[in-house]
Amino acid sequence: MMFFKEKRKSLRIRNYDENAKVSFQLNGKEYTGELFDYSRFGIGIILPKARVAKFPKKVLPVTHVVVSAFGKIKELGDADLVRIRSNQDSVFLGLYLKSEFVDMDFLVGKQTLNLQEDEIKKIRMNFLIQEKISSEFLQFVSRFVFGLSLYKISLDELDSKFYYEPTHLKQVLFEAVCNGIGKDLYQFLSNSIEQLKNLTARYSKAESEVAGFFLRKSIFRFILEADFLKRTNLRPNGYQGDSVMMEMIYQNEYLGTSTFGKIFHKHALETSAACAVRNRRKLINQVLIELLNKTSREIRVLSVACGPAFEVLDFFEQSPHKQKVKFFLLDQDEEALKKAEERIGKFESGKYLQQCHFIQESVRTLLKTKDPELILGKFDFIYSMGLYDYLADTVAKALIVKFFQLLEKGGELLIGNYHEKNETRKYMEYIMDWTLYYRDEDSMLELVKNIPEPLEYNLSFEESGNQMFLHIKKI
């Protein structure tokens, strides 16, 4: 492990495999040392002090730089060598490559070198994708890109003109733009998505994947300006539907650094699928009210893949039965749990935190646990609103049996899943790069067939009709 302070006052800490080496030639002699990074794009080499004691401190030109890491060997050409620092035993040197650059963060994260030749190959491969795209879809993308460009140019010009205005006036001007050019952009986006739905209605899965990839590449610079779309595409936490995305949907505000980006962001949050997420948040407390009206005792509630858990805060803010529930919030995302705990902790000086238990765990672990009730206990109500959108049938059926096992007699289970007729499906798949496991009524009811005990169940929908709920009672 290497710790080194850069000129920009940040600390580089990197673990490499023990065989990670750098070599170069100077005056016909080869030098090989340990690889480290002294900046994101700066290659470092550690050499024994005895070997380089006579190196002058000035910049030296070297040749034949070779990096060997994670089983790969890459020749990187010529470089300038500079002494960075030395200690009692070693000298730390930096290599400034002349015809190449290496992203050390990519090297660590992906355990492979990514060079310009790799990017060129990727670009050329992407060019070939056009050959698989229909002329109608190419025309649609061309019109869409041209339209987005026109609106962005106009709105960026206004942003530039408004830049030095007072803060309050800027907000007034923004609202005026939203009611004018912004409203027109909003309609253009809605019309374009409708055209996309009609054009791709009969596309196969393979055709959709290729066309979606092509569309996202074509409009990627616009996507990066819309905070929500940027996050769905880049997935910084490694998966879709993370707590930050859910929080954006709940807040449903204009976010971004440009007027164009703010409007594109807000448009995505006004889709019917996003409305369904906000609707299901209200549904949880409706079920809790019904359960609490039936009993005078305290009940235990488990939320699986809880995310930001806004509905729990809603309960503490609105319910007259605040003291009658213990919440167990389970999620694999540590950040989501911390935010949920922080949010609940800020409400009424954290007086309800003791009623909440935060469990960082994966549902995969729950599936592997033979007797989960011995660890978690039994529950009166279990719910999972978004998890099943990411589960194949085999896993979904096995997990629902585990949930049923965790229910008290008379306890209830509520599972959410987007219906296959989700109106926002094309928008999500083609622009957000967000693919789900969709189900219809029959496939949703199929999930209960492996449950061995007596039960009652029914299906319902939230207001938009995009998300379906399987409600099960253990009798």
> CA nearest 259: which of 363, 362, 182?
182
**How confident is the model at residue 369, as a pLDDT?**
87
- Nearby residues of 183 by Cβ (< 8 Å), 6 or more positions away: none
Rounded CA separation 229/227 (Å): 6
395 vs 14, more confident:
395
pLDDT tens figures, 336-353: 999 999 999 999 999 999
**How confident is the model at residue 97, as a pLDDT?**
93
**How confident is the model at residue 7, as a pLDDT?**
45
Longest dimension (CA), the chain: 87
The arithmetic mean of pLDDT across residues 158-169, rounded, is 97
Does position 9 have pLDDT exceeding 80, yes or no? Answer: no
Percent above pLDDT 70 for the chain = 96
**How confident is the model at residue 105, as a pLDDT?**
86
> CA nearest 382: which of 416, 355, 415?
415
Residue 104 · residue 37 · CB < 8 Å: yes
Query: Is 394 in a helix, a strand, or coil?
Result: helix
The arithmetic mean of pLDDT across residues 432-457, rounded, is 94
Q: Which residues pair with 25 in a beta bridge?
A: 30, 63
Rounded CA separation 251/75 (Å): 50
pLDDT tens figures, 198-235: 999 999 999 999 999 999 999 999 999 999 999 999 99
Average pLDDT, the chain: 92
- Nearby residues of 197 by Cβ (< 8 Å), 6 or more positions away: 426
**How confident is the model at residue 84, as a pLDDT?**
78
**How confident is the model at residue 15, as a pLDDT?**
55
Rounded CA separation 217/431 (Å): 10
The arithmetic mean of pLDDT across residues 246-265, rounded, is 97
Selected from 2.40.10, 1.10.8, 3.10.350, 1.20.120, the CATH number assigned to the domain covering 2-113 reads 2.40.10
- pLDDT band, residue 453 (cuts 50/70/90): confident
**How confident is the model at residue 11, as a pLDDT?**
46
pLDDT tens figures, 105-141: 888 888 888 899 999 999 998 898 989 999 999 999 9
Does position 263 have pLDDT exceeding 80, yes or no? Answer: yes
Does position 5 have pLDDT exceeding 50, yes or no? Answer: no
- Cα dihedral 312, 434, 201, 262 sign: positive
Does position 43 have pLDDT exceeding 50, yes or no? Answer: yes
- pLDDT band, residue 277 (cuts 50/70/90): very high
- pLDDT band, residue 4 (cuts 50/70/90): very low
Residue 351 · residue 323 · CB < 8 Å: no
- Which two three-digit tokens encode residue 280? 């299901």
Does position 75 have pLDDT exceeding 60, yes or no? Answer: yes
Ordered by start, the domain boundaries in the chain are 2-113, 128-270, 277-474
39 vs 441, more confident:
441
Does position 10 have pLDDT exceeding 50, yes or no? Answer: no
| 2-113 and 277-474 in the same fold | no
Class of domain 277-474 as given by CATH = alpha beta
**How confident is the model at residue 1, as a pLDDT?**
41
**How confident is the model at residue 3, as a pLDDT?**
44
Query: Is 58 in a helix, a strand, or coil?
Result: coil
Percent above pLDDT 90 for the chain = 74
pLDDT tens figures, 375-402: 899 999 999 999 999 999 999 999 999 9
